[in-house]
Structure 1
Amino acid sequence: MSKHSSKYENIKAQLKLDEELLRSNLVKTSQRFEKKWYSRLLGISLVTAIIGLGYLLFRPQKKAAKKVKNKEKLSYKSRSLGGILYAFILNQMPLILEKIYKEIKGTKKTKG
């Protein structure tokens, strides 16, 4: 019986070692993934800030305001770079940030 119990102990120790190895690999991979997404998020934020500052510094001077009846028309929004940037930031950035948040939240669930 001691022969079987020693085999059992060896197998149990090997499984525990394999589990610890898998867990450490999972932690390393999730940390790498988080760093990648945090750097992407930082890059998106910096690019957005630079575009915003560039637009503020180099925008054309305002001319006399014309009466626009319907500002929701596509022709009104697409006339200026500011309108395009404004539409992009309002429409796309929340979706991008939500996707990044979900992926980061998903990796934190698998971590622990």
Structure 2
Amino acid sequence: MIKRPTQVVTSDLSFGESMEIDLGDITAELYHVESPHSEDCVCILIPQERVLFIGDAVGVDYYNNCFLDKEKLRSLITSIEGFDFDICVMGHAEPMSKDNILHIMHSLLERQENV
């Protein structure tokens, strides 16, 4: 195996708050949201399917001693509440309902506030 030096290149595509991608019969709506997990979180809504992909948005900040920023979690909850979807797909869990993901997030916030 030939080892080559790693080359980092800039993205060909970037966007501000949101971007819409036409995929033919469906549309992917990308939204930057504040998240306790990272500074560059993007959620993807497929409105025709009523599905929201949030990846690891609910996770802790591994680069900051697994800190969970309550204000960023509150902001994420507000963003999630504002999306019109039925099914949420997280990075490391089975798909779940909007009510279920919001219940989990509110429970996590309550535990953090009691610490």
TM-score, with length taken from structure 2 = 0.26
* Higher gyration radius (CA): 1
* Structure with a larger share of its residues in strand: 2
TM-score, with length taken from structure 1 = 0.27
Higher RCO, Cα 8 Å, sep 6+: 1
